[in-house]
Amino acid sequence: MAGSARKPKASTQAGAQADVTVTPAQSAADREAFIRFPYELYRDDPNWVPPLEMERRDFLDPKKNPWFQFGTAELFLARREGKVVGRIAGVVDPRYNEFHGTNLGFFGMFESLDDQVVARGLFDAAATWLKAQGFPEMLGPLNFSTNYECSVLVEGFEASPAVMMAYNPRYYPALYEACGFVKAKDLWAFDMASSQPPPQKVVRVAETIRQRNGVVVRPIRMSDFSAEVQRVKNIYNAAWEDNWGFVPMTEAEFDHMAKDMKPLVVPELLLIAEVKGEPVAFSMTIPDANFALKAAGGRLTRFGLPIGLVKLALAARRIRRLRLITLGIKQGFRRQGLDAILYLDTITTARRLGYSGGEISWTLEDNHLVNRAIESMGGVRSKTYRIYRRPIA
């Protein structure tokens, strides 16, 4: 009886979106398909850096990723004729809205074929899910906040992304805009070569400040890692509080991040600036592990053999580029040239360790102070990323 009732219904389902279905990915098999989809999508893209499958699984596992202690995400898969053609996550970050006094829903993890029907279906699914929770507007992509990978690459597709930076096909910005998204904010990345010594003028100015203010810059003490993490955490959460899009990390998130980063860290490039013994600024530069990750191809093992692991380890020794991820100064110590000192020391150390250069990313397009400082050091804009927003109808 039920079967005969359903049949005519299927045939009446006409319209443009009839062939694409978007459903929540809840079963284990669906989540696996969600994680696997990018490996399919980017198969022929030489610049894509496949993340480790296991790292992605842990990231989406509420038991493993401390972000889920406060946030919620619903994963959706778009399918056509049973084949996965896109994915998206609806994201709710109550801490963000509390911190900024906003009422924004997020989305993230968006991947799609170059097909507006698919993209629209995905965005609408996330919008419907967010609407049910009372959000009038959505912002993204954020996976799942600005403390992690976020935004769409809109300029600078020629090279692989730096470690922990987003990457996507060229057609994404057009897809977003065709689906009614408008720019919320651009993020910039700068390229900095360390083959040349830094400009003499900058060195002189920095030395003067160092002397006058009693600034001591020292590398992180790995023997005292957990106490150092605590110091950095204090600066981090105090330094970014006025920034667009920033949300302070919880203790658990920060510790988790520190744990993940620890194997990448080159202690000499993790600098803490102290004024009269008080840590007031820090900068973190890490080797661009994407070079090594790319060699592994997303897996540590193949056919049960640690092929990826070996490739990863071998490639890791040949990393010649860096990424300066964060540079933060506590309120009250800004505009004193501390940033210049940190940049300078980073470049000097990088040269000494034999790195050829790196990326400074990302900065807000309207953070003129920082952007100007980077350019005065010799940084050249290399990539533009964009965060979009769209009202939820």
Partner 1 sequence: MSDVFDKCGAWKDYRIAKAAGLYPYYRPIEASHASTEVDIEGRRVVMAGSNNYLGLAGDPRVKEAAQNAVKRFGSTCSGSRLLNGTTVLHEELENRFAKFLNREAAVVVSTGFQTNLAALSALLGRHDIVFSDRGNHASLVDGIRLSFGEERKFRHNDVDHLQKLLEAADPDAGKLIVTDGVFSMEGDLANIPKIVELAQRYRARVMIDDAHSMGVLGERGRGVAEYFGLEANTDIVMGTFSKSFASLGGVLAGPFEVINYIKHKSRPIIFSASMTPASVAAALKALEIVEAEPQRRSRLMDIAEKMHNGLRAMGYDTGVSVTPVVPVLIGDQVKCFRFWKTLFEAGVFANPVIPPAVEPGHSLIRTSYMATHTDAQLDRVLDAFEKVGRKMGVIPETRPSSFVPVKVARPGTFVMSNQATQRWAAASAGLLADRGLSLEAIARLSSREMARKLSDAVETLTWRAANLQPDDFKRLGSAPLRLWSMRSEIPGLLLEKGANLFLKNGQHPEA
Instruction: Tell me which residues touch partner 1 (CB under 8 A).
Output: 1-2, 5, 8-9, 26-28, 52-55, 62, 69-70, 72, 74, 259, 299-304, 306, 309
Shortest spacing between CB 7 and partner 1, in angstroms: 11
Residue type at 164?
A: M
Nearer to partner 1 by C-beta: 42 or 225?
Answer: 225
Nearer to partner 1 by C-beta: 170 or 302?
Answer: 302
Mapped onto helix, strand or coil, the DSSP state of residue 173 is: helix
Question: Is the bond preceding 225 in cis, omega lying within 30 degrees of 0?
Answer: no
- DSSP label at 222? G
Shortest spacing between CB 233 and partner 1, in angstroms: 17
Q: Which of 182, 247, 244 is nearest to 389 (CA)?
A: 182
Nearer to partner 1 by C-beta: 305 or 369?
Answer: 305
Shortest spacing between CB 335 and partner 1, in angstroms: 38
Nearer to partner 1 by C-beta: 312 or 364?
Answer: 312
Shortest spacing between CB 75 and partner 1, in angstroms: 9
Residue type at 95?
A: R
The dihedral of CA 200, 375, 191, 279: what is its sign? Answer: positive
Nearer to partner 1 by C-beta: 7 or 318?
Answer: 7
Shortest spacing between CB 87 and partner 1, in angstroms: 16
Helix axes 338-353, 368-376, angle to 10 degrees: 40
Question: Is the bond preceding 110 in cis, omega lying within 30 degrees of 0?
Answer: no
Mapped onto helix, strand or coil, the DSSP state of residue 350 is: helix
Q: Could you tell me if 110 and 176 are in contact, meaning their C-beta atoms sit under 8 angstroms apart?
A: no
Shortest spacing between CB 151 and partner 1, in angstroms: 25
Nearer to partner 1 by C-beta: 15 or 277?
Answer: 15
Tell me how far apart the alpha carbons of residues 268 and 281 are, in angstroms, rounded to a whole number. Answer: 15
Shortest spacing between CB 133 and partner 1, in angstroms: 8
Nearer to partner 1 by C-beta: 124 or 345?
Answer: 124
Nearer to partner 1 by C-beta: 296 or 387?
Answer: 296
Q: Which of 105, 133, 110 is nearest to 121 (CA)?
A: 110
Q: Which alpha helices (DSSP H) does 242-393 contain, by range?
A: 251-261, 290-296, 307-316, 338-353, 368-376
Q: Could you tell me if 333 and 281 are in contact, meaning their C-beta atoms sit under 8 angstroms apart?
A: yes
Shortest spacing between CB 310 and partner 1, in angstroms: 11
Q: Are strands 321-329 and 278-287 parallel, antiparallel or unpaired?
A: antiparallel
Q: Could you tell me if 299 and 312 are in contact, meaning their C-beta atoms sit under 8 angstroms apart?
A: no
